[in-house]
Amino acid sequence: MELWYTEKQTDTFGITAKITKTYVHEQTEFQQLDVIETEQFGTMLVLDGMVMTTVKDEFVYHEMVAHPVLFTHPHPEHVLVVGGGDGGVIREIMKHPGVKKAVLVDIDGKVIEYSKKYLPSIAGELDNPRVEVLVGDGFMHIHDHKHTYDVIMVDSTEPVGPAVNLFTRGFYQGIYEALKDDGIFVAQTDNPWFKADLIQTVNRDVKEVFPIVRVYCANIPTYPSGLWTFTMGSKKYDPLEVDETAIPEIETNYYTPRLHKAAFVLPRFVENLVKS
């Protein structure tokens, strides 16, 4: 008998993958959590029926959350990751020796626990001495840490369940206040095929808070539509003004110094979504 996992990405469209094993099927305090083995993409973490990461394509998302913003800020020493309990973004941050401390705050400790057990290639840096892992509410952590971070990365699920508050203007204002005077933040902002309204709303809200706002894209095959956007809000530094020849080569599979600015060149229909 064949077993298949299907994610209904809209009411009329989805993706499906053949699975060979189920490692975890658990309702946590906050969400339905599943870890499954797929033939095409290897081990897959699923939250509330949505693919969060797979061992085959995870590098795209995690590299593109971390490196564009860390190479835009000239001296990122204190970094916060909201969400991201699988540890992939932390792994990429640890490739930057100038980062003195990275704090990860995820509301669901089970994500951290099972990622360490079943996704060690992704979660392997969570025990790095430069990393502090906290189980708690990222929204409240930001509220309680004014003027603390050089860079804040929001690695959240889609705006459902515990992540709803992470897509509000009030949250972006809180991020602004938690950043230092030259701080930058970045957030995943979903896909332009199915969530155009969300991208427009986030872009408008972030522009009301930050003087410099840039949107960029990456290709992630297991995410809805395969085309994913990220939104960067900066108090001072513009990612388009970075000298890409000064970006050091680091061990990556997607991000490169040449890709840094290229990622901000948007398809016309995405460009139209984020016009002022």
141 is in an annotated binding site: no
pLDDT digits (tens, 9 = 90+) for 115-171: 999 999 999 999 999 999 999 999 899 999 999 999 999 998 665 555 555 567 788
Structure tokens at 137: 């509410």
Residues of the chain with CATH 2.30.140.10: 3-54
* Alpha carbon distance 5, 17 (integer Å): 5
| pLDDT exceeds 70 at position 199 | yes
Who's near 100: CB < 8 A, 6+ residues apart? 77, 78, 130
- Give the pLDDT score at 157: 61
Q: What is the DSSP string of 200-242?
A: HHHHHHHHTT-SEEEEEEEE-TTSTTSEEEEEEEESS--GGG-
* Alpha carbon distance 189, 125 (integer Å): 25
Q: How confident is the model at residue 1 (pLDDT cuts 50, 70, 90)?
A: confident
156 is in an annotated binding site: yes
Mean pLDDT of 197-209: 94
62 is in an annotated binding site: yes
Residues of the chain with CATH 3.40.50.150: 58-273
- Give the pLDDT score at 130: 98
Active site residues: 155
pLDDT digits (tens, 9 = 90+) for 7-16: 999 999 999 9
Q: Is 58 helix (H, G, I), strand (E, B) or coil?
A: helix
Mean pLDDT, the chain, whole residue set: 95
pLDDT digits (tens, 9 = 90+) for 238-260: 999 999 999 999 999 999 999 99
What residues does 135 pair with on adjacent strands? 106
157 is in an annotated binding site: yes
138 is in an annotated binding site: yes
134: enclosing H helix or E strand: strand 131-135
pLDDT digits (tens, 9 = 90+) for 86-104: 999 999 999 999 999 999 9
- CATH no. of 3-54: 2.30.140.10
Of the two residues 157 and 114, the one the predictor is more confident about is 114
| pLDDT exceeds 70 at position 183 | yes
Q: Is 101 helix (H, G, I), strand (E, B) or coil?
A: strand
- Give the pLDDT score at 168: 79
197 is in an annotated binding site: no
pLDDT digits (tens, 9 = 90+) for 23-71: 999 999 999 999 999 999 999 999 999 999 999 999 999 999 999 999 9
Burial bucket for residue 7 (CB in 10 Å: 0-12, 13-18, 19+): middle
Q: Look at residues 270, 161, 167 and name the one whose alpha carbon lies nearest to residue 215.
A: 270
Query: Hey, what amino acid is at 161?
Result: G
Q: Which CATH superfamily is domain 58-273 in?
A: Vaccinia Virus protein VP39 (3.40.50.150)
